[in-house]
Amino acid sequence: MTGSDQSHRLPTGGAIDRRRPLAFRFDGREYRGYAGDTLASALLANGVRVVGRSFKYHRPRGVLTAGPEEPNALVELRGGARIEPNTRATMVELFHGLEATSQNRWPSLRFDALEVNDLLSRFLVAGFYYKTFMGFPGWHFWEQRIRAAAGMGRGTTEPDPDGYETMNAHCDVLVVGGGPAGLAAALAAGRTGARVMLLEETDGLGGRLRSDRETLNGTPAMRWAEAAAFELVDLPEVTVLTRTTGFGIYDGNVVGAVERVADHLPVPPAHMVRQRLWHIRPRRVIVAAGAIERPLVFGGNDRPGVMQAGAVRTYLNRYAVAPGRQAVVVANNDDGYRTALDLAAAGIHVAQVVDTRSAGRGEWWRRAVDAGLDVVDRAAVTNAYGRMGLVGCDVTRLDGNGGTAGNGRFVPCDLIASSGGWTPSIHLHSHAGGKAEWDDAIAAFVPGPGRAGVTTIGAAAGRFALSDCLADGFRVGAEAARDCGFGSGTAPDAPVADEASVAPLQAIWSVPGTPGRKVKRFVDHQDDVTVEDIELAHREGFVSVEHLKRYTTLGMGTDQGKTSNTAGHALMAGLRGRPIPAVGTTTFRPPYTPVAMGAFAGRAAGRHLAPIRRTALHDWHAANGVVFVEAGPWLRPQYYLRPGETNSREAMDRAITEEVVATRTRVGISDVSSLGKIDVQGPDAAEFLNRVYCNGFARLPVGKARYGLMLREDGLVDDDGTTSRLADTHFLMTTTTVHAAEVLADLEWYLQVVWPELDVRVSSVTEQWAGMALAGPRARDVLAAALDPGTADVSNEALPFLGVTTTATVRGVPVRIFRISFSGELGYEVNAPADWGIDVWEALMHAGEPHGIRPYGLEAMGIMRIEKGHVAGAELDGRTTPDDLGLGRMASTAKWYVGRGMLGKPAYTDPDRPKLVGLVPVDGRTRIRAGAILVADPDAPTPIPKLGHVTSSAYLSPTVGHPISLALLARGRERIGEEVWAVFPTRSQRIRARVTEPCFVDPEGEKLHG
């Protein structure tokens, strides 16, 4: 543990830029690395051995891998609002000023109070927490303590300061993975002119070629990869995305990918997102995702300094880092020899090469022996020592029957490079529904039959040799392009790999412990699952791989068992005495590696959470003291403050009251542009509307409007609105704001599917027209004054209630005028083409000035319609019949229409059904909340029979001088004059209320017709 100043940096080599040193901090201490380092390689270069504590036992852990599968080196990256927990140090590109903190330790990495869990481990077996605490009262209390102890790093509650976005892409051939197989595939496809995308998870192309010393035709294979990268850049229809993980395949072979645009920078520069989520729709997918090395399972295999053999080569060759000074290499395959030779070539002392096989003496063995390495076979590392960093291990002969032969020999070392073979990354194949097949030769699952259009090649298909990877890539790339109509499908010639033959791997899923020593053998490092945990699960009957996973948490960490699942499942198969393929493997699901939620949210956050819909009069409201309220996507005026007034409860109450009073006594104007407007034209338009509405429309005269009620097919009320006949074959329908799109879709469906014989076309014209409701005793005076002289007569005689005129203009703007009212006052709805909406609104305001006109918002509108007993959304709740709402007489008996067939259902004619009534508090002042439950006796024994509920409330009706409500009450019409209780249990409210007629103002409608 020599500490700082890159004590473990090799003097030469590596793909780092030694001219660009970078300072960074880990756990508060400053270190230096080079551009091209990862956080893991830079920590190793500085001799940092312990980088985290394990999940359950809090054992000190070091870097295990050099890739996305890392289970140990999880750190909190950055700080403040940008803090990112559980970041894999092996995937973090070093940048100047990087700050990282170890996690899951308290108070410090060197001393962790919860390391006591390691000593208590014989009690903390799989399922311990549930077995122990679930029976206790207060499980949730213990659950929180346990979760805190298992700390997964800290997040932040601050808003993310960085941006994310989504990108859509299409291509002929998508290649996932930029190693030799993927490069070859992209080249072969790209040269044909096909549109090709290549995704590479790391910062550069080459894959394992960046980590190994292989050659092609006698030159370093990495030269070939560099040339391939250059060629791809020059192909105009090829897109190469580095720092991009293809994390999932979805329906239709849509591939999800996340591009880490700015994760390698301290802070994203202006206008640059941090991450970008790609939705890629390729015609062919080639998965060249490579393979992941498995650690051998032996005693102490989690000690800091035990590392995967392939990772050791990566640190040596790519980063010029010596992960140790004195190495032991142990493997069940030729990777051990390859690694030992690389270590020796880098000048690191290889104390012992251990081969667990009895038949591993092939070409690689020969090379190792020729290089003078001390090789022992049919032996294994049986225990490793060194709590805060490896100090040595026992090497013991194996008896060939799962046991040891003789005593262990202690070998001092600070690095163990271990390889248990490689597991193909078949995740994407599996996402696409592909099967996994067991391959004995490599002791791993390989892709079996899969979905059309998805082909897995190279190491991801279990073909590890460089020559196989290149051959696969060139062949499958050319074929995929041909399938898309490009090229002949003939594979280009592949360069010749200079390869030694490989001696077969010999599976060994766990190594026995050193005789006489108690050992902990970790299968899953991230979740602290040991061989003993798997044995326990087997004894307790959790023998299927899915139960094993949930019982022991095997493979449930953020690494999703990338290094551990194969061994864990194989051990269970051994315990059950069944072949591995019969025991199977768990199902892979996206994402392949963790993806930040921000990337999925993209720009749909903050003010872009949902689009905002503004009326044509929006800018006028905004300049005139409006307080907006959201109504679905719409922003609508809620009420208007006085100039310079600050919003408050009092200001709101006063504004609303003034708006109601002005409209009831003088004149008011409101923005009704959001109401749905549907243009209905065609020779059968009248017949169509007559079938859609429950009341008659066939004989509506031209130039007249009528209130219409629309039912669903089940007979319940769907929507209401006013529909006008503009010409013999031309109607304008209006709908409620919320149901506009749904009603249009229903109309299209009736026309296309139900009554195709009707010759009618319907179109939404909601956006074309700005709508203004002018209401109040002086409405006619204001309207007449605003019209361009001589364009229309709006006298009561020329334009009576429900009259329509389309000849008028205001300031030259053609308008449609409908004499209709929602407030119960003399009212007109004026529609103007939207781009002139403000001009017409201003003309009306100007004409209304002498009459004291006031704009009014939704609150005042709501109060006035409750005063009139008009139903709206709260009453049209999808559970009410026309009769429930007091509109039963509208339902025609002289014709058929949608929903009529169901109206006679006994449930709909039940006299006990709730009916629309009015409700006033007996004390004349207590406000009754909408949603309150109506009961006869709130003190009756529970369950208290419910008589109905309050649908809408006006906390103060300025017109009648006290609060009023509308309610649906069982046998309501018979109860008028009686008293009921309105209770609101969650607010502990109970209010005595008198049942009234639902109309509180001008029940005869004199104002309307005046």
Partner 1 sequence: MADATSLPQAPLPPRRSPLDAVWVAGDYGAAAVGGPGVTMLRRSGLSSVQLDARRGTAASLRAAVAGALGLALPGPGRAASGGEVRALWLGPDRWMLLAEDTFALEAKLRAAAEPAGGVVVDQSHGRTILRLSGPAVREVLAKGTGVDLHPRAFAEDAVAQTGLFHLAVTLDRRRGTGTFDVHGMRGFAQSLFESLCEAAAEFGYRLSE
* Tally of CA atoms within 13 A in the half-sphere of 957 that contains its CB: 29
Nearer to partner 1, 586 or 737 (CB): 737
CA distances from 741 to 271, 610, 712, 738, 750 (A): 36, 17, 15, 8, 14
Residue 508 interacts with partner 1 (CB under 8 A)?
no
Q: Which stretch binds partner 1 (CB under 8 A): 362-370, 537-545, 601-609, 934-942?
A: 601-609
Three-class SS of residue 351?
strand
From 517, 761, 987, 1009, residue interacting with partner 1 (rule: CB under 8 A): 761
Tell me the CA end-to-end span of the chain in Å, nearest whole number.
96
Least gap, CB of 682 to partner 1 (angstroms): 6
Degrees, nearest 5: CA angle 181-186-190: 155
Nearer to partner 1, 713 or 835 (CB): 835
Three-class SS of residue 615?
coil
Residue 749 interacts with partner 1 (CB under 8 A)?
no
Q: Which stretch binds partner 1 (CB under 8 A): 432-440, 692-700, 828-836, 938-946?
A: 828-836
Rounded CA gap, 259 and 598, in Å? 12
Nearer to partner 1, 73 or 285 (CB): 285
Q: Which stretch binds partner 1 (CB under 8 A): 228-236, 357-365, 654-662, 800-808?
A: 800-808
Nearer to partner 1, 160 or 532 (CB): 160
Least gap, CB of 377 to partner 1 (angstroms): 57
Least gap, CB of 839 to partner 1 (angstroms): 5
Q: Rule CB under 8 A: which of 806-825 touch partner 1?
A: 806-809, 811-816
Least gap, CB of 740 to partner 1 (angstroms): 11
CA distances from 774 to 53, 238, 778 (A): 71, 61, 9
Three-class SS of residue 570?
helix
From 19, 140, 271, 518, residue interacting with partner 1 (rule: CB under 8 A): 271
From 264, 279, 547, 846, residue interacting with partner 1 (rule: CB under 8 A): 279
Least gap, CB of 924 to partner 1 (angstroms): 42
Nearer to partner 1, 172 or 859 (CB): 172
Q: Which stretch binds partner 1 (CB under 8 A): 331-339, 505-513, 607-615, 711-719?
A: 607-615
From 532, 788, 997, 1002, residue interacting with partner 1 (rule: CB under 8 A): 788
Nearer to partner 1, 665 or 806 (CB): 806
Are the C-beta atoms of residues 156 and 90 closer than 8 Å to each other?
no
3-state helix, strand and coil shares in percent for the chain, rounded to the nearest 5: 25, 30, 45
Q: Which stretch binds partner 1 (CB under 8 A): 33-41, 179-187, 272-280, 689-697?
A: 272-280
Residue 740 interacts with partner 1 (CB under 8 A)?
no
Rounded CA gap, 615 and 635, in Å? 7
From 767, 849, 923, 1006, residue interacting with partner 1 (rule: CB under 8 A): 767
Least gap, CB of 617 to partner 1 (angstroms): 10
**CB neighbourhood size of 587 (10 A):** 11
Nearer to partner 1, 504 or 602 (CB): 602
From 321, 327, 481, 616, residue interacting with partner 1 (rule: CB under 8 A): 616
Residue 264 interacts with partner 1 (CB under 8 A)?
no
Residue 338 interacts with partner 1 (CB under 8 A)?
no
Nearer to partner 1, 202 or 615 (CB): 615
Rounded CA gap, 315 and 150, in Å? 30
Element of type H or E holding 217 = none
Q: Which stretch binds partner 1 (CB under 8 A): 91-99, 616-624, 916-924, 964-972?
A: 616-624
Residue 922 interacts with partner 1 (CB under 8 A)?
no
Query: Residue with structure tokens 């051959």?
Result: 471
Residue 160 interacts with partner 1 (CB under 8 A)?
no
Residue 165 interacts with partner 1 (CB under 8 A)?
yes
The residues, ordered by sequence, that sit 6+ positions from 386 with a Cβ below 8 Å of its Cβ are 303, 304, 305, 392, 414
Q: Rule CB under 8 A: which of 617-646 touch partner 1?
A: 618-619, 622, 633-634
Nearer to partner 1, 27 or 165 (CB): 165
Are the C-beta atoms of residues 434 and 347 closer than 8 Å to each other?
no
Query: Residue with structure tokens 């060759």?
Result: 317
Token pair for 549: 């996973």
**Residue 29: DSSP 8-state:** E
Least gap, CB of 832 to partner 1 (angstroms): 9
Nearer to partner 1, 194 or 343 (CB): 194
Least gap, CB of 1009 to partner 1 (angstroms): 23
CA distances from 537 to 317, 489, 531, 533, 954 (A): 41, 51, 10, 6, 63
Q: Rule CB under 8 A: which of 883-912 touch partner 1?
A: none
From 603, 905, 925, 946, residue interacting with partner 1 (rule: CB under 8 A): 603
Residue 793 interacts with partner 1 (CB under 8 A)?
no
Least gap, CB of 619 to partner 1 (angstroms): 5
User: Which one-letter amino acid corresponds to residue 353?
Assistant: V
Least gap, CB of 149 to partner 1 (angstroms): 42
Are the C-beta atoms of residues 309 and 421 closer than 8 Å to each other?
no
The residues, ordered by sequence, that sit 6+ positions from 639 with a Cβ below 8 Å of its Cβ are 626, 627, 652, 655, 656, 659, 856, 857, 858, 859, 860
Give the residue among 936, 927, 929 at the shortest CA–CA distance from 950: 929
From 146, 169, 556, 944, residue interacting with partner 1 (rule: CB under 8 A): 169
Q: Which stretch binds partner 1 (CB under 8 A): 707-715, 787-795, 888-896, 957-965?
A: 787-795
Are the C-beta atoms of residues 172 and 285 closer than 8 Å to each other?
no
Are the C-beta atoms of residues 977 and 995 closer than 8 Å to each other?
yes
Least gap, CB of 230 to partner 1 (angstroms): 23
Phi-psi region of 19 (alpha: psi -120 to 50; beta: other; left: phi over 0): alpha
Rounded CA gap, 691 and 694, in Å? 7
From 615, 663, 695, 881, residue interacting with partner 1 (rule: CB under 8 A): 615
From 83, 124, 125, 167, residue interacting with partner 1 (rule: CB under 8 A): 167
Nearer to partner 1, 160 or 788 (CB): 788
**CB neighbourhood size of 1008 (10 A):** 18
Cis ω for the linkage preceding 943 (within 30 of 0): yes
Degrees, nearest 5: CA angle 532-537-543: 130
Rounded CA gap, 831 and 837, in Å? 8
Phi-psi region of 53 (alpha: psi -120 to 50; beta: other; left: phi over 0): beta
Residue span 682-721 as binding mask against partner 1, x where in contact by CB under 8 A, dash where not: xx------------------xx------------------
Token pair for 892: 């025609």
**CB neighbourhood size of 955 (10 A):** 17
Q: Rule CB under 8 A: which of 652-671 touch partner 1?
A: none
From 149, 391, 652, 765, residue interacting with partner 1 (rule: CB under 8 A): 765
Residue 258 interacts with partner 1 (CB under 8 A)?
no
Residue 265 interacts with partner 1 (CB under 8 A)?
no
From 2, 7, 132, 168, residue interacting with partner 1 (rule: CB under 8 A): 168
- Which residues make up the interface to partner 1 (CB under 8 A)? 163, 165-170, 195, 270-273, 279, 281, 603-604, 607-608, 610-616, 618-619, 622, 633-634, 679, 681-683, 702-703, 726-727, 759, 761, 763, 765-769, 788, 790-791, 806-809, 811-816, 833-839
